[in-house]
Amino acid sequence: MNDDKEPQGNPWMKSLLIWVGILLALVAFVSMFDSSSRRADASAIPYSEFLNHVEEGTVKDVEITGDVVTGKLNNDQSFRTIAPSDPQLVQRLAEKGVNFRAKAEEQASFWMILLYQSLPFLLILGIAFFVMRQMQKNAGSGAMGFGKSRAKMLTEKHGRVTFDDVAGIDEAREELQEIVDFLKDPTKFARLGGKIPKGALLVGSPGTGKTLLARAIAGEANVPFFTISGSDFVEMFVGVGASRVRDMFEQAKKNAPCIVFIDEIDAVGRHRGAGLGNGNDEREQTLNQLLVEMDGFEANEGIIIVAATNRPDVLDPALLRPGRFDRQVVVPRPDIEGRQKILEVHMKKTPLAPDVDSRTIARGTPGFSGADLANLVNEAALLAARKGKRLVAMKEFEEAKDKVMMGAERKSMVMTEDEKKATAYHEAGHALVSLHVPGCDPLHKVTIIPRGRALGVTWNLPERDRYSMSMNQMKARLALCFGGRIAEQLIYGKDALNTGASNDIQQATDMARSMVMEYGMSERLGWLRYRDNQDEVFLGHSVARSQTVSEETARLIDQEVRRFVEEGEATARQVLTENLDELHRLAEALLEYETLTGEEAKHAIKGERIGRDETGGHRHVQIGVGGSSIPKSKRPGGGWGDPAPQGA
């Protein structure tokens, strides 16, 4: 350990000693000119006083050098004065019997004069050179190092990542295994005419493990691994990005075979011609240089480019063609099997209680990415540590899952009895609709405890992995959206409605509009897409040609959206009107227990007694749930919360 620390301390100590030396030289230089003047000032007297001493006969010895008169008084006190042009000075000294002598004025040599005059400038230039050299030690950070690459070479002797640490994305790992085999034994493929791939593009949502995959490639192949972000290329100075690309490939050539990993390549690889300045901006120059280095006249053998992005739709087509990125590897959100493997990887360093089942946790976390699952395990460990436990139990994982998906409990929030009762009926309406309308996902949990921005949450989860939704399922979700508002309307009347259903209305409107404009579920509008792809807009230019609609078509779209919304509202109203007694029983159970699982809600609407464990916690009920690759904002599961009104 001591050997590792010494190289880190030596450069710092060396810089400190150099700065101390510069300060000492500066002090010596100033004191050299200042000391003689101080000595001269200490013995200097006015010329008039000197003449008075001569008249009084107290001058013992005098030496005249030009206009400077020095000497001693009778008491051996030295003096110095400047004599003006006084032709009678010699006569006065002779009359008073003063011993005097004349001395020729010494002329300084040319080299001494040059040294004295140039020494300050040499000192300033030396300090400036030292500062610039120190700044250039970190490539790209100095005043003269803008064109240096900021790529860092990773040599992980400890904490090395391999494919064993990458779980849940087996297909992507297999795609990249061939690159590792190429780097380990290139002759195996060369004798059959195969060439090493130029690059691999990792595409996936944030948190799916793209960067971890790139590190695993380097760890498996045991070759130099350069890492850089796409934003590190572009600066405010023209030509800097292109220079850094050239410097990066020069470094890579010296260490070939090697891997260069460019994270968030969409920062520099966007479509050309969509920027400002007639397309000749700094970003496009950097992209052009990158295209040339990857596949130009000069071959860069042994350099594999691995890039990652979650925005492949904005990348330039020239960057994606074979010869540059020969393969595009999709890194998806893991399914239930993948989530279980990822959880087991992250649970290795966590002491677990015997009741922890990774399979059950994986089934209850649909749509979670690898980063989400890592956060879930960490939150569970923090909750157990907060309670003073030595092992992380299943209860902590359930609480952590609720916290991650629904938000933290707002225990300090004070609600009146009327607000609490209104929230109970609202959430009971959502839950009752999900239990009676075919196509709704199974009810997982319903609570009236405020979480995050919501006063209450109804949580539905799918039974299995789901990658698409049918029209019946989307209509069922529309009815589920309006269950809370209609329940309040049936209990309190139309005039007592509040702002709590704003999020439900927004979700229902967005879903109905997507059904009409994107999914072709309207018979009157047909199988046409009417919505612009706003995700592909860059600097005011849409990558895909936008679809414009006439006023008549826009009016028809609004009519169809309203029709879907009204159908969902009617379905929810019918269910709640026919089962009003069940609504009352479920709301009363929520007011008593505050949180109910799906099975407990079914017991409550039948009027049966709800069982609880001895500690007063919720009875653990295993519910068969699966996963989804659909993002959280659009996936079929999820909670139905009531955002708190402003000021709450």
Does the annotation place 206 within a ligand binding site? yes
Identify the sign of the CA torsion 396, 399, 403, 406.
positive
Residues 6+ apart with CB under 8 A from 81: 44, 45, 46, 47, 49, 50, 68, 69, 70
Tokens of 247: 């410097």
Does the annotation place 263 within a ligand binding site? no
Does the annotation place 418 within a ligand binding site? no
Tokens of 77: 């006190």
Does the annotation place 208 within a ligand binding site? yes
Q: Do residues 168 and 339 lie in contact, with contact meaning Cβ atoms separated by under 8 Å? A: yes
Secondary structure element (H or E) that encloses residue 61, with its range: strand 59-65
Q: Please list the helix, strand and coil fractions of the chain in percent, rounded to the nearest 5, in that order.
A: 50, 15, 35
Q: Where are the alpha helices (DSSP H) in 165-281?
A: 170-184, 187-190, 210-221, 240-254
Identify the sign of the CA torsion 583, 589, 594, 599.
negative
Does the annotation place 239 within a ligand binding site? no
Secondary structure element (H or E) that encloses residue 118, with its range: helix 110-136
Give the Cα separation of 215 and 58 in Å (integer).
93
454 DSSP β-pair partners: 451, 643
Tokens of 613: 């464990």
Does the annotation place 205 within a ligand binding site? yes
Q: Do residues 415 and 423 lie in contact, with contact meaning Cβ atoms separated by under 8 Å? A: yes
Backbone dihedral angles phi then psi of residue 100, each to the nearest 5 degrees = -130, 160
Strands (E), 383-453: 443-447
Three-state DSSP class for residue 60: strand
End-to-end CA distance of the chain: 55
Residues 6+ apart with CB under 8 A from 585: 604, 605, 606, 607
Give Cα 406 distance to the centre of its chain: 23
Does the annotation place 484 within a ligand binding site? no
Q: Which of 175, 379, 427, 582 is catalytic?
A: 427
CA distances in angstroms from 98 to 58, 66, 569, listed in the order given: 9, 18, 125
Does the annotation place 210 within a ligand binding site? yes
Residues 6+ apart with CB under 8 A from 25: 123
Tokens of 241: 């990005």
Does the annotation place 620 within a ligand binding site? no
**Residue 518 annotated as catalytic:** no
| Crossing angle of the two packed helices 417-436 and 598-605, in degrees rounded to 10 | 100
Does the annotation place 207 within a ligand binding site? yes
Does the annotation place 426 within a ligand binding site? yes
| Residues placed in the known binding site for ATP | 204-211
| Residues placed in the known binding site for Zn(2+) | 426, 430, 504
Question: Which residues does the annotation mark as catalytic?
Answer: 427
